[in-house]
Amino acid sequence: MKRICIIIITAIFAGLFWSGCQKDLDTYEGESGIYFDHTRDQNLLRADTLPFAWGQIDGDILEQKVSLQINLLGNVTDYDRTFRVNVIESVVPESLKDEMKVAVEGTDYRAFANECTIRANEVSTNLEITLLRTEALQTESRILTVALEETEELKFLYSREVTDKENNRRRIDLQRVIVMDETLPKPDWWWGTDIYNIFGDYSMKKAITICDVRGIDRKEWLSSEFGDRLSFLIFLGEYMQRWLDEQNPPIYEEDGETLMTMGPDSQY
């Protein structure tokens, strides 16, 4: 009798468990939403800001496309759903007003279609924007902000949030802020007496000049392997010093006053 009771109780719990599992398997029937993906560019993305470093791209490349993925939250459908992505006013921090300007259509980026469509049976779409490289980026960064516009079918149901210094919370996955500049960071291998004697003090303008004159791929320049080629670096320093000596007018550093030179071992 005791064994029969155990079997009955076990069957009841199994039925309840299966019923719960069945409920968990019910398909989502609520509203659908859209938001900017933040997983693909998570190594670059800072909150809602996506830095774009022209300085790490070879100097002869004057335009580049960025692709912003927009995800669907909710069910797919058997028909297309269209929404808009608008350029909105960019907020330039007061402390950066002298070195950051709002991007201008036709100068800093090409006009783009601001209608996006999530196709039938798809869960995402991409907004492509062509960015333009200008000489102004040598001294000023450019900022471009695009924001999603919700529709009756595609609402704002999800976004991460951040809190600013004034303790205001804002949702960050409904817009993307693209900041362009000519930043070329100091390579990890540029340190120590040997490198100083070849190239002298580091400056971004000096690094860009070396890469442009010798046609060095900037991603290769930044790699740690590039710094292992000591014999080539010695040749490069001497070559660049001769090139600098031949320039008329001479090449100056970023301050416009200091003559650009290589290190002491590259002098002749």
Q: Does position 261 have pLDDT exceeding 50, yes or no?
A: yes
In sequence order, the 6+-apart residues with CB closer than 8 A to the CB of 190 are: 199, 202, 227
**212-226 pLDDT tens trace:** 999 999 999 999 999
Q: Please tell me the least confidently modeled range out of 26-30, 82-86, 201-205, 256-260.
A: 26-30
Q: What is the mean pLDDT of residues 205-211?
A: 95
pTM across the whole model: 0.75
Q: Does position 18 have pLDDT exceeding 50, yes or no?
A: no
Tokens coding 157: 């149901």
Question: Does residue 4 sit within a domain?
Answer: no
Question: Does residue 10 sit within a domain?
Answer: no
Strand partners, 126: 69
| pLDDT at residue 10, rounded to an integer | 45
CATH classification at residue 82: 2.60.40.1740
Look at the chain and report how many structural domains it folds into.
Answer: 2
Same domain, 42 and 174: yes
Question: Does residue 23 sit within a domain?
Answer: no
Q: Residue 46 — very low, low, confident or very high, per pLDDT cuts 50/70/90?
A: confident
| pLDDT at residue 3, rounded to an integer | 46
The range of the structural domain enclosing residue 120 comes to 32-181
Same domain, 237 and 113: no
Residue at a domain's end among 181, 205, 233: 181
